[in-house]
Amino acid sequence: MQPINGNEDWLKSCRDRKPFYLETYAYDAPNVLETYSEDDAKFEKVLLGKGDTVFFNAGQHGKTRDPNIEHLTELFDCMDTARAEGDDTDWPKLAYVISNQLHFHNLEEGGAYGGSSDDSKFCLEEVDGGNNPFLNEDKDVFGEKLTTVGFDLDLGKMGNFHIGKGSKTDETVGFTDCAHWTMPGVPDILAREVATSMLITTIKGFDSGNRK
């Protein structure tokens, strides 16, 4: 499903101590990018509560990653403050998923940087994720703030599972894509990590409820 242009502002909702809503597509909506509208049957507005978990990632594109990290950090801090003051309005649980492991020809920075101008025909088979600035920033900024997903994964040796060299018209030309993955493959590993995190959270909640 295509992403949605929504109007939610959870940071404002937190500051106002109001509930969080998720603007999303209805089940039978067409797979096209559109802007949310309350009067359009293709969309629905879902109230999120303490039984829900929302998984975030700040992305890896230069123009959006830094603002995303800043806004996410503000949101997490606001929620912590509200809860410390007893103002929690049954907000959902938030979790952070580790950033993507890249395999561009840049060993010094764990394969993190590359683009359509790369002359290399193939992605690197192996990189050291410990040198990847995106992964390190994730751990430094979010590692102690909230539930994390995939932080213990080591995908440094999975370079052959990227899409690699090609274009829509000719596999011998085009750019080297060492960011996106073939399917099935690494995305399924991350999906497993998300599902495991949800299961653990559910079990902990069940055990806590029984102790009461």
* pLDDT per residue rounded down to tens, the chain (212 residues): 445 666 789 999 999 999 999 888 888 887 777 777 788 888 888 999 988 999 999 998 878 999 999 999 999 999 999 999 998 779 999 999 999 999 988 888 999 886 545 456 678 899 999 999 999 999 999 988 888 999 999 999 999 898 876 544 555 555 678 888 988 889 999 999 999 988 887 766 544 444 44
**Tokens representing residue 117 in the block:** 């101008």
Identify any residues that bridge with 1 across adjacent strands, giving them in sequence order: none
pTM for the model stands at: 0.82
CA–CA separation, 205 vs 79, rounded Å?
A: 19
Q: What is the pLDDT of residue 80?
A: 92
Indicate the SS3 state at residue 163.
strand
Structural element, H or E, at residue 21? strand 20-25
CA–CA separation, 173 vs 170, rounded Å?
A: 6
For residues 159 and 103, is the Cβ–Cβ distance under 8 A?
Answer: yes
Q: What is the pLDDT of residue 184?
A: 87
CA–CA separation, 134 vs 113, rounded Å?
A: 10
For residues 147 and 93, is the Cβ–Cβ distance under 8 A?
Answer: yes
Chain CA centroid to CA 58, Å:
6
Place of tokens 């990227």: 162
